[in-house]
Structure 1
Amino acid sequence: MEPHIVDDDPEDWGRTPGSKRPRLFRLLGPGLITGASDDDPSGIATYSQAGAQFGYMLTWTMLFSYPLMTAVQMICARLGRTTGHGIAGVLRTYYSNWLLQVIVILLLIANTINLAADLGAMADAVHLLLPGPPALYVVVFAAVCVSMQVFLQYTQYVAVLKWLTLALFAYFAVMVTTHIDWAKLASGLLLPAVRWDKDYLTVIVAVFGTTISPYLFFWQSAEEVEDIGAHPGRHALIGSPEQGNAALQRIRIDTLVGMALSNLVALAIMVTTAATLNVNGITDIQTSSQAAEALRPIAGRFAYVVFALGIIGTGLLSVPVLAGSAAYAIGEARGWSVGFSRRPMQAKSFYGTVALATLIGTIIDFSEINPIKALFWSAVVNGVIAVPVMATMMLVTCRSDIMGPFAVRGWLQAVGWIATGVMTLAALAMFITSF
């Protein structure tokens, strides 16, 4: 079966398509979904802890990380759109097999643990609102996420993920119901505080680790490849350089908007928990559902309910992305047929990996493994593998023999290497503070 074809290609700037959807909505795709999935339940827990423990002091990290994560994701998107292959596919062609296998295995481990944490957080959020056993909700959410990926056509699946990004606006709704100390917020945003103590550095590392994560790299590059097959006349740029200007402009808008939404939501969560939990002496938040429950007596039932619903919505978005990015990486590394544009029988191993990763994540939630420790080690693994992935990706995308005239240069190259350096320092800090 051929991939489902979409007629109104958002890269065709000269066309006046018959679609009634707003132009911006059609432009947004892989970048929007990637940015939104970054605010998964485990990320919500991290941002909530940052706000609860340090008030407004760490809000500067959202301004600082925005250009870094935007550059990195833009480079990932350019890699997929230019070569017609995801990150693992390019590594398989140009780099040592041992490096590829190590990165892919670590990514699978980190994603599976993160899946477990997110499924558990979603179940806990439902349990806050409805009676019933959380274990049942874990199974239901796992089944729903796998079913979306297996049974929906690619374009339908992408449309569902786009609409799920609306769940993020729940956190803006919560923020406007709280009393914010605007002077302290402005100070925290614009005047970074430096505290050389373990707790402060650990939370900074956790924030950067959850904001710039390897699964996001693999997902956005792979989705650019999927979109090539979903639009008629669209080809890998290496073979059709005349499409380059329109493609890169679309990628730029998509990624800028997607990463801005991601960081604004993270900022809203930090500000909300700083304005409610921190000022009331609640400084230890280990899960996203704990943050929702802590809000109830302070910010009221509306904030509590909306915060919990946001956890469920973002989980429904992030769990498929986590499973999908792992499947893309493993599939390309092994030379399988990959992609949600293929029917399950045409990509059995790919869809099997999606289901297996979700199943293992579900099993972890039924085990005696401490979910908080599991989440910590997931962050450690993500922080570690981000460095070689980013460094290798920068080396690949700067090579003209791979990227042709679309090799990364100028400000994008500079910011990409700065982001790699920051993540290297973050990984070292995480290792040092662990002791």
Structure 2
Amino acid sequence: MRHDPRPPIGHRHRGIGLRLAALRAAGAGAWAAFLAVLGPGLLAGLSDDDPAGITTYSILGTEYGYRLLWIIPASTVLLIQFHLIAVRLGAVSGKGFVALVRSRWGRGWGYAAVLGLLFANFGTICAEYAGIAAAGAMVGVPAWLSAPIAGTLIAIMVVVGSFHRIERVLLLVSSTLVLYIVDGVLAAPDWRAVASGAVTPRLPLEPAGWVALAAALGTTLAPWGLAFIQSYAVDKKITVATLRWARVDVVIGSVLTGVVGLAIAVACAATLYPVRAHVETAADAAMALRPLAGSFATTLFGAALLGASLLAAAIVPISTAYSIAEATGEPASLGLDSRHFHWFYAAFVGLTVAAVSVVALPRLPLIPLIYSSQVVNAVLLPLQLLALNLLDADVAVVGDARPARWVRMLSWMSLGLVLACLAGMVWAWR
């Protein structure tokens, strides 16, 4: 007999509806209602500032100064828009992204979606553990030790912990990203130039600049993040009744994501760009700051890198495990009973072990794997945005929650902008 992919309310975590009812009975107000749905937007947004994202923002500031900062606010607007669509789809359908694709267009499309996400996400998971290893190397801890320890602790937390305990730990870890904002302020940038660069679109004149724009867009609006927020909203029991507060959570999480990304780029633009420093990874940026901004700035950058890596090393495998379980029709939830076998937990542990093995064994081709996964992300992103737009406009899926025509038009225009950015990159490299 096939299991219900949505575990019953009260099984390891209570539904949002029950929690809100309890809050109302206790006389709690809007603030308590917001806290009850807090999580999906913050975690999906801030986990986008992972080692790959930090590296992208670091290179953006180091190579181009303040000139291309505008792509970060622009990407943040798109992040808000499509995360809102994903949360709405999860709330009205009760299905994650892959599950919804499978039920609407058939198993074949569901398998195709999960295969694309699986290949792209695995390289990203390796990048997260590479970030953990890089942060450990800054204090003398080798990769063969730091990556397995982190992977073991994360796996134990996800498999054994309850839904709300996992969420609290992840939210606590995500708070370390505020250190990047401190770093950006300590860099003492030219704030007038920052403001101008952030609001004035300037197109790059060289092919590498187009690549930087596409990379910044892709790392902010990541396919795994879109899949995660929809599945996580379903797992958290977000409903149409609680969607209003979930939207606030999405906006706050997306804006914080943009602020952190901007702070990283500004810190590098103010310190590394004037001396034409060479940066290939986030760890390179942290070490390059030492002679220019002091050891304290390097410590902050490294500590935030570790926090961002740990957060994403949990979120990306969770997102992938959601998608794998949804594609096969199996239960997909952090609230499953870990005393019994579930494909969701098996997928999570398997991905974690594989990624840790890749990072801990230096002779394996880590860089080509990560690079190829980002290429898949670039191809997968517009396809996923297309699917989200089609589902969001489908009355059979969203019913009365179908957005207004002007909202749908904006979504299609945003997809056009993403395609134009990718086309500009391809044209520049022709």
Q: TM-score scaled to structure 2, two decimals?
A: 0.91
Aligned to 1:176: 185
Q: List aligned pairs for 1:23-102, cutoff 5 A.
A: 25-102=35-112
8 A Cα contact 1:68 1:415, kept in partner: no
8 A Cα contact 1:178 1:272, kept in partner: yes
Q: List aligned pairs for 1:240-279, cutoff 5 A.
A: 243=241, 247-279=242-274
**What is the DSSP-based 3-state SS (H/G/I as helix, E as strand, rest coil) of the residue aligned with 1:344?**
coil
Aligned to 2:128: 118
CA distance in 2, matches of 1:17, 1:174: 41
8 A Cα contact 2:136 2:142, kept in partner: no
Cα offset for 1:32?
Answer: 0.7
**What is the DSSP-based 3-state SS (H/G/I as helix, E as strand, rest coil) of the residue aligned with 2:336?**
coil
Aligned to 1:350: 344
Question: Which range moves more in the overlay, 131-140 or 94-103?
Answer: 94-103
8 A Cα contact 1:119 1:315, kept in partner: yes
CA distance in 1, matches of 2:243, 2:147: 39
8 A Cα contact 1:74 1:255, kept in partner: yes
Query: Structure 1 residues 63, 272: closer, same or farther in 2, change over 3 A?
Result: same
8 A Cα contact 1:171 1:265, kept in partner: yes
CA distance in 2, matches of 1:11, 1:420: 39
CA distance in 1, matches of 2:342, 2:191: 53
CA distance in 2, matches of 1:88, 1:158: 22
| Aligned pair partner of 2:412 in 417, 425, 428 | 417
Question: Which range moves more in the overlay, 95-104 or 308-317?
Answer: 95-104
The alignment status of 1:311 with 2:305, answered yes or no, reads yes
Cα offset for 1:363?
Answer: 2.2
Q: Which runs of 5+ in 2 are unaligned?
A: 1-9
Query: Structure 1 residues 214, 302: closer, same or farther in 2, change over 3 A?
Result: same
Deviation readout 1:238-284 (Å, 9 max, x if unpaired): xxxxx2xxx221121011100000000000000000001111221x3
Q: Runs ≥4 in structure 1, deviation > 6 angstroms?
A: none
CA distance in 2, matches of 1:429, 1:103: 26
CA distance in 2, matches of 1:25, 1:311: 27
Tell me the amino acid that sits aligned with residue 344 of structure 1.
S
8 A Cα contact 1:41 1:121, kept in partner: yes
Aligned to 1:286: 280
Aligned to 2:377: 382
CA distance in 1, matches of 2:105, 2:142: 48
Aligned to 1:368: 363
Query: Structure 1 residues 422, 96: closer, same or farther in 2, change over 3 A?
Result: farther
Query: Structure 1 residues 75, 12: closer, same or farther in 2, change over 3 A?
Result: farther
CA distance in 1, matches of 2:20, 2:184: 33
Deviation readout 1:287-322 (Å, 9 max, x if unpaired): 111111111111101110011000111111111110
CA distance in 2, matches of 1:336, 1:299: 51
CA distance in 2, matches of 1:250, 1:59: 30
8 A Cα contact 2:131 2:305, kept in partner: yes
Tell me the amino acid that sits aligned with residue 243 of structure 2.
L
Query: Structure 1 residues 430, 381: closer, same or farther in 2, change over 3 A?
Result: farther
Q: List aligned pairs for 1:75-224, cutoff 5 A.
A: 75-129=85-139, 131-224=140-233
Tell me the amino acid that sits aligned with residue 321 of structure 1.
I
CA distance in 1, matches of 2:299, 2:71: 27
8 A Cα contact 2:41 2:253, kept in partner: yes
Query: Structure 1 residues 432, 138: closer, same or farther in 2, change over 3 A?
Result: farther
CA distance in 2, matches of 1:11, 1:208: 40
**What is the DSSP-based 3-state SS (H/G/I as helix, E as strand, rest coil) of the residue aligned with 1:176?**
helix
Cα offset for 1:410?
Answer: 3.8
Q: Percent identity?
A: 27
CA distance in 2, matches of 1:68, 1:13: 33
Aligned to 1:231: none
Deviation readout 1:364-404 (Å, 9 max, x if unpaired): 22253444433322221111111111111111111111111
| Number of residue equivalences | 418
Tell me the amino acid that sits aligned with residue 363 of structure 2.
E
CA distance in 1, matches of 2:386, 2:341: 30
The alignment status of 1:395 with 2:393, answered yes or no, reads no
Cα offset for 1:122?
Answer: 1.3
8 A Cα contact 1:177 1:303, kept in partner: yes
Tell me the amino acid that sits aligned with residue 299 of structure 1.
A
Q: Which runs of 5+ in 1 are unaligned?
A: 229-233, 238-242
8 A Cα contact 1:27 1:253, kept in partner: no
Cα offset for 1:25?
Answer: 4.4
Tell me the amino acid that sits aligned with residue 146 of structure 2.
Y
The alignment status of 1:408 with 2:418, answered yes or no, reads no
CA distance in 1, matches of 2:390, 2:51: 32
Query: Structure 1 residues 330, 432: closer, same or farther in 2, change over 3 A?
Result: farther
Question: Which range moves more in the overlay, 217-226 or 402-411?
Answer: 402-411
CA distance in 2, matches of 1:288, 1:165: 17
